[in-house]
Chain A
């Protein structure tokens, strides 16, 4: 099932997440299907499939459950934005799709610090990864237009734990979340 093909962007993202969570290296990943859905080999059973699923599993491995929300409400909200990420953001295929996503997020973030309100969660991390390529390519006017998204993006980028050295490959000062 899991082809040993080249890892897709999903796998790279999960490796970054592992690093961010302080987990030891060495997890085995594969990809599956046309969309290159990541598969994590676990010690027992058929492994776990899908970014949302694996990311949630890694968070629990790292004993950082708070990133999934504490109350039923928070947990559901986190799940909702993770789902939004894997369906809407990953499924977007045109400029128009991207525009709608940015517009939706801009409205949502109008009165919130993070996607789930006042708490930083896995949803912020995965959304950051998913939108990174979009955000860096925005024009100045677009950044201004989606001010709340820009603010949120900047905020996540500077979330504690950032390294302030320029990144060796892109030269930017960037957070630990930055995928390449």
Chain B
């Protein structure tokens, strides 16, 4: 069991002592929206040029001195000025900011202007930084400083003399002049510092320095105190690098950060002042700062310029009821991730369906006295009902036995045939004389030729995971009649995998470089490739399947593992006629495949080979997410032995679907096998859901109702509250970091951690006592209640991928506006002062030991027998 990441230490960690207040400027913010916000952290050259440019181009800016808020911090150490544009984008390069002021006034950029800007950034700035450092920090003379600048100054002189113009790009000053002057002025300061042998430069420098915008900027930036400030700033920076290196300290474009915080730190680390300021700032922005939730049209189709995410979960085999392990392994994991993607405003399509062809269906039909089609209809409905109960948010849940499947599978087959990727061969296949049929792989059992496991199936050994050719099984047995099958020859078609191995490996290299593949998926695939691929049979002697469209094979069908993954495409095709925009569009689409690890080779090797061979610009998997196995109590789920909880039974337990979802996701076999355990389910429900999460959300809402008549009170944030905001923001960032890597189980801990902080916060501040106190105490009770109920609002959104019904229950109780159901990296106040909440009631129920014991007995194994069905 993973240890909880969050011990007792609360928001008031030891390093938080220094909470120097950084300007609260929330109120002024919206009023000044028309102006662009220009922030200048250091009174240095970058500030100088940016201010001069703003003045020269008459740009309306709202000036702010000091360090940027953390969540808007530009790349680098934060010494660079930043300009927040009307669109919300951020410029952090002083030169780009200057250029923007001129562009916005209507001055087009020219090649010559760009050339000066590039020269300034790559040649002049490093030299000027060295010179300035020498002057201010090392106490060098002006002559030495000018010596450092000799080469660039000479370059300017030559250029001005050659063109004979007054300014760098012509007869009028341009952005290039301002930018270059801004870098030179702090070093040279006076016209007389420019060597006499550079007369054209001298004149230019004087003209610039005397111009109104430059003079005003110099007066603002280089005030007497600024020099010491700049000196101490330079002193903190690493010394400038040798000549020719990139931009140096403090001179403009972001220099390397001397103290980047270490990454992947735990949530208990000490908060920095900047983080606290940023969180406070984000909070004050309120719901208006959130992007509008993206609501795609139906059918969902890729949108140019958006992240287009296509999610599949492995197609469950139709002829059985899925157990909890199947559910967490594919559909529930994929659902949680799909919901997360939608909350991130990524354009997302999630498809799945039942895999219906194959012998197992034929056999089940015989047993139940139905046709294969009727069996599929029946079980497709059962699957659909179970997933609907679990709240799986498929955009489309289809099936593989459709005309589209035939069209698409046959098309891929014909393309493979035309490109020479199919081989024909005679196969020795097991035939049961008693049943009068060739035996499908799954209908043979025997001893694994690799590891000696006694119950290996004809296609794969469950113990060692290796794929098996049925005829290689030792002591094979017909699974239906237990007779001994004999080997008979039959003609079959093979996918020429050896010929496709090289393109496959090239593609894998790319997919692994850029995509997220779970370690087990990489490992399994690598071991397959290491052994070398062998031709793999894609046809079978059956009736219930996609017919093979080739003379000589018309009485055969495609092998289910050639056919089934094509189901992803045909299911999408049944959803929309424009399915190719998802499946033949690798440029725009990112594909995530979810599955249990036994399905990996089919998704990472065989299916990609089919698509690479068919060569029609198919979307291939970018991210392959495979779970390990979920065990039941101490053994395996077993359909045949009736051990474990199956989807339809979960509905009958009286435990709500969201609690099942929570527990399965909490246990998700991420990285290693895990075990479903009844007493642990009870423990997690009572400890985490009831006492932690439910308790916090309920208390927060209840205080609003009881003490403030159902209206969110006004909040006056104290340092302690701000630290809490930063702490929550940190957890939120961690949550995103984990979910982006599809670490679904770990991200759930962040949610629980936030509510744990929330409980502690309420406990320490005791709003129920303060509400009875004086004015100050009542204000404090209001603030704590307001912050807590807003945390509950954030939790409702973060929880949505995991527990959608609970999330919408919280939404209803607190009346959270639907537009707040979007996830960003900031924790903002979505329920402001004056917001009315609804009726608040408990979200979870306690599970009693007697009830759990009864359930354990009921599902322990043996009693509920699926044996008769199998």
Contacts and interface: CB of A to CB of B under 8 A. Distances in A.
Contacts of B111: 48, 53, 56-57, 60
Interface in A52-89: 52-53, 56-57, 60, 72-73, 75-77, 79-80, 83-84, 86-88
Contacts of A12: none
Interface in B566-606: 586-587, 590
Contact of A104 (B75, B125, B244, B307): B75
A143 B482 CA distance: 51
A73 B85 contact: yes
B290 to A, nearest CB: 13
Contacts of B114: 50, 52-53, 56, 79
B115 A53 contact: yes
Nearest to A60: B111
- Residue with the greatest number of chain B CB neighbours at <10 A, chosen from A105, A151, A158: A151
Nearest to B509: A172
B453 interface: no
Size category, B interface? 35 or more
Contacts of A155: 587
Interface in A139-157: 140, 143-145, 147-148, 150-151, 153-155, 157
A83 B512 contact: no
A136 B114 CA distance: 31
Contacts of B75: 84, 88, 100-101, 104-105, 107-108
B516 interface: yes
B115 A80 contact: no
Contacts of A49: 115, 118-119
Given A96-B256, A100-B256, A91 B100 contact: no
Interface stretch (B245-253, B415-423, B717-725): B245-253
Interface stretch (B91-99, B673-681, B764-772): B91-99
Size category, A interface? 35 or more
Nearest to A110: B825
B510 A154 contact: yes
Interface in B67-118: 75-76, 85-87, 89, 91-93, 95-97, 99-100, 103-104, 109, 111, 114-115, 117-118
Given A53-B111, A73-B89, A154-B513, A83 B95 contact: yes
Interface string B388-423: 000000000000000000000000000000000000
Contacts of B465: none
Contact of B121 (A37, A83, A143, A151): A83
Given A53-B114, A140-B512, A144-B516, A76 B99 contact: yes
B627 interface: no
Contact of A147 (B121, B305, B503, B516): B516
Contacts of B507: 173
B99 to A, nearest CB: 5
- Residue with the greatest number of chain A CB neighbours at <10 A, chosen from B76, B119, B514, B515: B514
A143 B513 contact: yes
A74 to B, nearest CB: 9
A73 B100 contact: yes
A120 B250 CA distance: 30
B608 interface: no
A110 B346 CA distance: 12
B740 interface: yes
B96 A76 contact: yes
A163 to B, nearest CB: 12
B89 A83 contact: no
B99 A143 contact: no
A112 to B, nearest CB: 9
A143 B516 CA distance: 9
A168 to B, nearest CB: 13
A67 to B, nearest CB: 14
B447 interface: no
Nearest to A94: B256
B506 interface: yes
B741 A86 contact: no
A108 B622 CA distance: 21
A26 interface: no
A8 interface: no
Contacts of A169: none
B516 A50 contact: no
Given A50-B122, A84-B75, A91-B247, A113 B307 contact: yes
Contacts of B109: 75, 79
Contact of B99 (A60, A79, A160): A79
Nearest to B254: A88
B253 A143 contact: no
B342 interface: no
A20 to B, nearest CB: 15
A86 B305 contact: no
Contacts of B475: none
B810 to A, nearest CB: 26
Contacts of A91: 122, 245-247
A119 interface: yes
B861 to A, nearest CB: 40
Contact of B305 (A53, A101, A119, A148): A119
Contact of A154 (B86, B118, B506, B515): B515
Contacts of B514: 143, 150-151, 153-154, 157
Contacts of A138: 513
A16 to B, nearest CB: 19
Interface of B: 75-76, 85-87, 89, 91-93, 95-97, 99-100, 103-104, 109, 111, 114-115, 117-119, 121-122, 125, 162, 241, 244-247, 253-254, 256-257, 260, 263, 305-307, 503, 506-507, 509-510, 512-516, 522, 586-587, 590, 622, 740-741, 825
22 contacts: A48-B115, A49-B119, A52-B117, A56-B114, A72-B103, A72-B104, A73-B85, A73-B89, A90-B246, A101-B75, A113-B306, A138-B513, A140-B512, A140-B522, A145-B263, A147-B740, A147-B741, A150-B513, A151-B515, A157-B514, A160-B587, A172-B509
Which 9 residue pairs are nearest across A and B when measured between Cβ atoms?
Answer: A91-B246, A154-B514, A104-B75, A80-B96, A76-B100, A118-B305, A72-B103, A50-B118, A53-B115
